[in-house]
Structure 1
């Protein structure tokens, strides 16, 4: 069951609902979005019905949701959501009316490399930057990222370019320091089912980019988002980045059908990562075009000034003619599906 508070509901109104629910042995999880507050209820439904919650001040509606993912479902939030990322004056929207182009180096290797990559991305039309300070790798001998030093580099590049930062957090113990430096916290494919980490980022007070697990079903992906929402954070963006199949021609198989399916089930924005789906640069532009055509709310791609020297995922990084082709696609194609450049909607 979900309690939807009115836009003018006060903290006292919210607490009154929570107190009534806990008084009958239930649990109440408060999640605050941009325009309203949602309270998810766990416990005996019959007891909740006896509380007459609809009569309480500040309560807009009480809904019984059949989907297992209550807070991120469109059953109680029919209109799709927009998530705003960045500091006031530099906030970038990710949502149904805009197309958001995010780009940058897969891994932060140095201040110069990161700034060069982000400047390339900005020149191509990107309005947000990506960059990994912590890198969960299959091999323990592979480059694991610069950690806090990498976060400091990202923050300095944001200062120089005015572009909000999204970066991955891989350990619940690092959530606070990552949130201190980044505008958006990324949960990677290997951590989609790390429930302690999901709960920690749900309490961090920053928007979250949640990548689909490489073997996750759509419902499992949405349930992971529910973990974040249940801890108070409705500012979640989902990212389809390819799933593991029997096909070896690409690193992963981009499940392009997941975009409209998820949009029909959840109000959360959905973007696509063609770089990690394909694993090769030649497929990034075609897959980006497909993402735009199918209605994705944005793309996130890898850019590197010297891919042959990259410490992580160099074969999929764009520059030169490939980056120019992508710039043309993200400039020309979104208007044909009713989207505007997210950069024009900053606030």
Structure 2
């Protein structure tokens, strides 16, 4: 349920409304928009007396919210959210261009790849320090050493870094190094992990699970939002299909569907969706044409030597070509590729931990 307040409602009236609804055992979520202020109610709505709420000073309307994802819904937050990742904006006409290797490898290689993709227009660098793999014998990532390399890369090129967190016990550690936390497809419904990243306050990149519906994705986002972290970016990375021609089925229609249901930004990941370098460029452009708020692409300077997912990575020169095409597409759509914080006066990236944590 949401309460729409009258234009000109005072802070005292707003505080009074919040005290009343919280006195009913409900949680409240205040959203101040350009044109109106909304209070979202979370909890057992059977205890709510709608007529009583309408009598409160400052309340204009009381509207039931049908979707179970109350905080993520458009009804609760009509304006599109803009997520700030250390100065790089995603959403609201700002495109996030995330690029980098599947996993963090040696320092020199990460520096080379980061320099290349940043010159080509990427504004967020990605790399996995912890890798959830189907086989327990496959490369599992470098752990904290990988986080240290990733942070060094980010500081060197003034680019925000995003990396996956796989264990609730590691959320605090990863948040000390990364500007953005990724929850991967395999962990989309790891509710303990979602709760912990919600408490972290770091921006979160939440990937759609391989067999998850759009409603499932939004309910997972709700876990993060309900902990007070409103900085969530969704990611369409393909779902399981029956045709082996591609790694997954790239559900490009999910982009406009999601945007009709939620205020949260959504980007596309054609690398995991297709698993084929030849399909990544056209699917990236298709995602932008469908309205995506950014594109996530894997890039490696020698895919045959990659520790993981080498076959689906673009070479740096291939990324340069598609990046140019994406800039043209952004101009055509009237959108902006958010510049790096170092050139836009953005916020400062997180500092690496002290020696006690290293």
TM beyond 0.5: yes
CA distance in 2, matches of 1:334, 1:240: 19
1:135 equivalenced with 2:136 (yes/no): no
- Give the conservation status (yes or no) of the 8 Å contact 2:148–2:177: yes
CA distance in 2, matches of 1:196, 1:278: 29
Per-residue deviation, residues 23-65 of structure 1 (Å, max 9, x unmatched): 33x23165789998855320144435366387368x8975421
Identify the residue that residue 352 of structure 2 maps to in structure 1: none
CA distance in 2, matches of 1:9, 1:214: 46
- Give the conservation status (yes or no) of the 8 Å contact 1:31–1:229: no
Identify the residue that residue 349 of structure 2 maps to in structure 1: none
CA distance in 2, matches of 1:41, 1:53: 17
- Give the conservation status (yes or no) of the 8 Å contact 1:33–1:235: no
2:173 pairs with one of 161, 174, 177: 177
1:239 equivalenced with 2:238 (yes/no): no
Per-residue deviation, residues 107-154 of structure 1 (Å, max 9, x unmatched): 001211211111111121101111111111111011111111111111
Per-residue deviation, residues 217-259 of structure 1 (Å, max 9, x unmatched): 1111111111111111111111000000101011111100000
- Give the conservation status (yes or no) of the 8 Å contact 1:199–1:227: yes
1:64 equivalenced with 2:64 (yes/no): yes
1:254 pairs with one of 231, 247, 250: 250
Q: Secondary structure at the match of 2:259?
A: helix
- Give the conservation status (yes or no) of the 8 Å contact 1:31–1:233: no
1:165 equivalenced with 2:161 (yes/no): yes
1:342 equivalenced with 2:338 (yes/no): yes
Identify the residue that residue 74 of structure 1 maps to in structure 2: 74
CA distance in 2, matches of 1:41, 1:276: 35
Structural mapping, 1:256-271, within 5 Å: 256-271=252-267
CA distance in 2, matches of 1:14, 1:135: 45
Stretches of structure 2 lacking an aligned partner (at least 5 in a row): 347-358
- Give the conservation status (yes or no) of the 8 Å contact 1:155–1:182: yes
- Give the conservation status (yes or no) of the 8 Å contact 1:21–1:48: no
TM-score, normalised to structure 2, is: 0.86
Stretches of structure 1 lacking an aligned partner (at least 5 in a row): none
Provide closer, same or farther for how the CA distance between residues 170 and 259 of structure 1 changes in structure 2, counting only shifts above 3 A. same
> What is the Cα deviation at residue 172 of structure 1?
0.8
- Give the conservation status (yes or no) of the 8 Å contact 1:7–1:37: no
> What is the Cα deviation at residue 281 of structure 1?
1.2
Q: Secondary structure at the match of 1:40?
A: strand
**Number of residue-to-residue matches in the alignment:** 340
Per-residue deviation, residues 261-284 of structure 1 (Å, max 9, x unmatched): 100111110100011111121111
Structural mapping, 1:265-284, within 5 Å: 265-284=261-280
Regions of 4+ moved over 4 Å? 3-10, 12-19, 29-39, 59-62
> What is the Cα deviation at residue 324 of structure 1?
2.6
CA distance in 1, matches of 2:8, 2:134: 45
Per-residue deviation, residues 54-103 of structure 1 (Å, max 9, x unmatched): 7368x8975421111111111122221111111xxxx0000131222110
Q: Secondary structure at the match of 1:52?
A: helix
Identify the residue that residue 298 of structure 1 maps to in structure 2: 294
TM-score, normalised to structure 1, is: 0.89
Q: CA RMSD in A?
A: 2.7
Identify the residue that residue 27 of structure 1 maps to in structure 2: 26
Q: Secondary structure at the match of 1:154?
A: helix
Provide closer, same or farther for how the CA distance between residues 48 and 161 of structure 1 changes in structure 2, counting only shifts above 3 A. farther
- Give the conservation status (yes or no) of the 8 Å contact 1:38–1:71: no
Q: Secondary structure at the match of 1:329?
A: helix
